Chain A
Amino acid sequence: MVPRSLIDIDDVSRDEIIHVLNRAASFKEAAPSRDLLAGVAVLNLFFEASTRTATSFTLAEQRVGADVISFAPGTSSLGKGETIADTAITLRGIGIRVIVVRHPESGFPRRLAETFDGHVINAGDGQHAHPTQALLDLMTLRNEFGRFEGLRVAIVGDILHSRVARSNIVGMKQLGIDVTLVGPPTLLPESFASEGVRIDRDLDAVLGSVDAVMMLRIQRERISTGLLPALDDYTRNYQLNRTRLRGLRTDAVILHPGPYNRGIELTDDVLDDPRSRYVAQVGNGVFVRMAVLDFLVNGATVAA
């Protein structure tokens, strides 16, 4: 049997997502024994800089007792000098059983998983996917609302360049969450609309009707590459700020994958707002990653 990998959130079924979230919740309640992954070598292979995700994975790996190796090859060496297949064979030969990989190009983890005789966990590839981020977002939503079916979530900002948005769209659709995408046409083409996923250009009209709003990071290079005009034109339409917070329901929550840009997609008022769940999100990240490691390596019997 081919070892299972997590490249995007649709590599696991709806029931498996629930299982992983249950495990994560139990780990949060009581730390598991540190031998769940005893003797399993995990390689953190980050071709792209990361602080939160790399730290979160490393801590998760240590808490389930894995042998942890972290390596940041930079973007130019591995995977180019030798083929992806050669890299995979070499790492397996050394004894690596799990590769946690981040890469600037969409698709690298998928290609790696094809030839690596072990588990690959995608820690973010290009603009494609970031499944553990989606899982921690889902965990945060479930803590808050106790359910998924019928929840209404708005994802706001640079959808086009966001692997967080893509994985969340896939995961939320699987779980029956009603998704509205909000952003300007240059960062949110019409092609993102699909069954269960709406596009709306009017953030003010959307805010009053959602249970959660996820604000995505806006990068300044979107201005130099001609996708956005001056930032204040963007903030006029899409920034979450003191005025717009009044339009958000009192029982709604605010998510952000981080790192956030204060004064661009959100203002300080948002971070201070009691509805903000950023700290809960990063906390949940460690438990979700522990649960994913446990699920992929040890498997689970999930009732259909």
Chain B
Amino acid sequence: MRTLVRGGRVIDPASGLDAVRDILIENRFVTQIGEHVDPGDARVVDAAGCIVAPGFIDMHVHLREPGQTHKETIASGSAAAVAGGFTAVACMPNTDPALDSPGVVADVLRRAEAAALARVYPIGAITRNRAGEELAPYHLLADAGCVAFSDDGATIANPRVLRNAARYAADIDAVFISHCEDAHLKGDAVMHEGAASARLGLEGSPGLAEDIIVARDLLIAEDAGKRWHIAHVSTARSLDLVRFARSRGVRVTCEVTPHHLLLLDDRFDGYRADAKVNPPLREDGDRAALLAGVRDGTIDAFATDHAPHGLDEKAQLLEAAPVGFTGLEIAVGAYAAALPDLSLDRYIALMSTNPARILGVPGGSLGVGSLGDVTIFAERAWTIDARLFHSKGKSTPFDGATFGRRPVATLVDGFVVFEHGRVMPRDEGVPA
């Protein structure tokens, strides 16, 4: 199987390459990069006028399978991934059952292989059933294919449990990922605590609910010597805490979502739940700090926290409606809209190179010998129409938004899995 990506502007942050090149992929790997590569019998993907990057990796998605397949399946989530320009996703363990045993993890991988679209990297639970009490079998989960560990939305309340987890798993390279929200400070909040929640009479969660857990978890990371990743930072002070931990030698990385970079807590005047998310949309000072955190390198990765739900579920009153929304099919454009001044090199590093490094997975570079995972995108305007999403989750606060950057084609293992708006499964199974 040979594929030639022809005439695109190839940008590879790992090697510093930024030039118009042809790329030949043979048997899953890049074999040639040059100004003119003879295609021979290769399938040719015309990338003229486009940017060619190492495949984008969304290290924070919810695929809902097993357990909530009315919201998303591994197949529909994989289709959304490749249509959104992602060649790989890491899926959170808040499924039913949770990803806390090797059998469930193996099942996820089997389904991903059957879907034959994006690579799917399972994230194992830190505690059994994400209940915050008993430790999950980290070594067995890593053997089964887990690339990281997290209890995601269920912040582990007991620091003794988390410390023991981190110490026990210290010999595994897979990173611990924290979703940082203190349950007591958060209470029954449906949005951020601030002037907007005060005005609207809605329960708010203060930024402190995040900060206090970021501080705690980074202290545990230091104490246990465990590599750590902070999911979806949303406050200015969280970033300061990450900087502080780094200054003490803690191995910590962090990610930011498109919605926290673009949206504020002023979206609840209609009491609709389409912007209800954890952690909540914050105030302008936080948003400015997040944008600065991307520019100064404090933030390592872009991750969408793709959290699909049914439109009927999101149409409920604020308290009853589920948290989160779809992100995979808006990300490429949304990040560009949030940071129009960010260099393409940095953008690609945050979309691909850094997530690959944090998760310790292949990809993230585009040189001879690299995996044939390629994202092709263009600086072209497009308008989001959620009805056209491949994801089952059609709810997004970005519906109708116009962005200036869009995915054009996606290659996994050299197979074209997305082009001309169509998703096409690989014609042969490839081990993830």
By a beta-carbon cutoff of 8 Å, the part of chain A in contact with chain B is 79-80, 83-85, 105-108, 110-111, 114, 125-129, 160, 163, 166, 189, 191-192, 194
Which B residues are in CB contact (< 8 Å) with A79?
A: 317
Which A residues are in CB contact (< 8 Å) with B271?
A: 106-108, 110-111
Which B residues are in CB contact (< 8 Å) with A191?
A: 193-195, 197-198
Min Cβ gap A67→B in Å is: 29
Which B residues are in CB contact (< 8 Å) with A105?
A: 317-319
Rounded to whole angstroms, the CA-CA distance of A97 and B320 in the bound complex is 28
8 pairs of A and B residues whose beta carbons are closest in the complex:
A107-B271, A128-B201, A127-B201, A191-B198, A106-B201, A191-B195, A110-B271, A192-B198
Which A residues are in CB contact (< 8 Å) with B316?
A: 80, 83
Which B residues are in CB contact (< 8 Å) with A127?
A: 201-202
Q: Which residue of B lies closest to A160 (CB)?
A: B198
22 CB contacts below 8 A, A to B, read: A79-B317, A80-B316, A83-B312, A105-B317, A107-B202, A107-B317, A107-B318, A108-B271, A108-B317, A110-B270, A111-B270, A114-B270, A126-B202, A128-B200, A128-B201, A166-B199, A189-B193, A191-B194, A191-B195, A191-B198, A192-B198, A194-B195
Q: Which residue of B lies closest to A106 (CB)?
A: B201
Q: Is B315 an interface residue (CB 8 A)?
A: yes
Min Cβ gap B322→A in Å is: 14
Which A residues are in CB contact (< 8 Å) with B318?
A: 105-107
Rounded to whole angstroms, the CA-CA distance of A192 and B195 in the bound complex is 7
Which B residues are in CB contact (< 8 Å) with A125?
A: 201
Rounded to whole angstroms, the CA-CA distance of A127 and B202 in the bound complex is 7
Q: Which residue of B lies closest to A109 (CB)?
A: B271
A106 pairs with B312, CB closer than 8 A: no
Task: Give B185-212 as 1s and 0s: 1 = Cβ < 8 Å from A's Cβ atoms.
Answer: 0000000011101111110000000000
Counting contact residues on chain B (CB < 8 A from A), the size range is: 10 to 19
Min Cβ gap A187→B in Å is: 12
Min Cβ gap B323→A in Å is: 16
B201 pairs with A129, CB closer than 8 A: yes
Which A residues are in CB contact (< 8 Å) with B320?
A: 80
Residue of B195, B200, B312, B320 ringed by the most chain A CB atoms within 10 A: B200
A106 pairs with B198, CB closer than 8 A: no
Q: Once A and B bind, how many residue pairs between them come within 8 Å at the CB atom? A: 53
By a beta-carbon cutoff of 8 Å, the part of chain B in contact with chain A is 193-195, 197-202, 270-272, 312, 315-320
Min Cβ gap B103→A in Å is: 37
Min Cβ gap A167→B in Å is: 10
Rounded to whole angstroms, the CA-CA distance of A192 and B198 in the bound complex is 6
Rounded to whole angstroms, the CA-CA distance of A84 and B315 in the bound complex is 9
Rounded to whole angstroms, the CA-CA distance of A105 and B202 in the bound complex is 9
Which A residues are in CB contact (< 8 Å) with B193?
A: 189, 191
Q: Contacts A111-B272, A127-B201, A191-B197 known; list 18 others, CB within 8 Å.
A: A80-B316, A83-B312, A83-B315, A84-B315, A85-B315, A105-B319, A106-B202, A106-B271, A110-B271, A111-B270, A128-B200, A128-B201, A166-B201, A189-B193, A191-B193, A191-B194, A191-B198, A192-B198
Min Cβ gap B276→A in Å is: 12
Min Cβ gap B235→A in Å is: 16
Min Cβ gap A77→B in Å is: 14
Q: Which residue of A lies closest to B195 (CB)?
A: A191
A84 pairs with B317, CB closer than 8 A: yes
Partner of A189, one of B198, B270, B317, B319: B198
Rounded to whole angstroms, the CA-CA distance of A191 and B191 in the bound complex is 14
Q: Which residue of A lies closest to B268 (CB)?
A: A107
Rounded to whole angstroms, the CA-CA distance of A111 and B316 in the bound complex is 10
Min Cβ gap B188→A in Å is: 11
Q: Which residue of B lies closest to A127 (CB)?
A: B201
Q: Which residue of A lies closest to B317 (CB)?
A: A105
Rounded to whole angstroms, the CA-CA distance of A111 and B193 in the bound complex is 22
Min Cβ gap B206→A in Å is: 9
Which A residues are in CB contact (< 8 Å) with B315?
A: 83-85
Residue of A105, A125, A160, A194 ringed by the most chain B CB atoms within 10 A: A105
Partner of B200, one of A80, A106, A114, A192: A106
Instruction: Assess A111 versus B317: contact at CB under 8 Å? Given A83-B312, A106-B271.
Output: yes
Min Cβ gap A261→B in Å is: 21
Residue of B194, B199, B272 ringed by the most chain A CB atoms within 10 A: B199
Q: Which residue of B lies closest to A225 (CB)?
A: B187
Min Cβ gap A92→B in Å is: 19
Which B residues are in CB contact (< 8 Å) with A107?
A: 200, 202, 271, 317-318
Which B residues are in CB contact (< 8 Å) with A129?
A: 201
Which B residues are in CB contact (< 8 Å) with A106?
A: 200-202, 271, 318
Rounded to whole angstroms, the CA-CA distance of A166 and B195 in the bound complex is 12
Rounded to whole angstroms, the CA-CA distance of A85 and B193 in the bound complex is 29
Rounded to whole angstroms, the CA-CA distance of A118 and B320 in the bound complex is 26
Rounded to whole angstroms, the CA-CA distance of A110 and B201 in the bound complex is 13
Rounded to whole angstroms, the CA-CA distance of A176 and B27 in the bound complex is 75
Q: Which residue of B lies closest to A108 (CB)?
A: B317
Rounded to whole angstroms, the CA-CA distance of A163 and B320 in the bound complex is 21
Which B residues are in CB contact (< 8 Å) with A160?
A: 198
Instruction: Assess A126 versus B198: contact at CB under 8 Å? Given A83-B312, A105-B317, A110-B270.
Output: no
Min Cβ gap A231→B in Å is: 22
Q: Which residue of A lies closest to B318 (CB)?
A: A107
Q: Which residue of A lies closest to B194 (CB)?
A: A191
Which B residues are in CB contact (< 8 Å) with A111?
A: 270-272, 317
Rounded to whole angstroms, the CA-CA distance of A34 and B316 in the bound complex is 39
Which A residues are in CB contact (< 8 Å) with B194?
A: 191
A126 pairs with B201, CB closer than 8 A: yes
Rounded to whole angstroms, the CA-CA distance of A189 and B316 in the bound complex is 29
Residue of B195, B201, B316, B317 ringed by the most chain A CB atoms within 10 A: B201
Min Cβ gap A242→B in Å is: 33
Rounded to whole angstroms, the CA-CA distance of A65 and B316 in the bound complex is 35
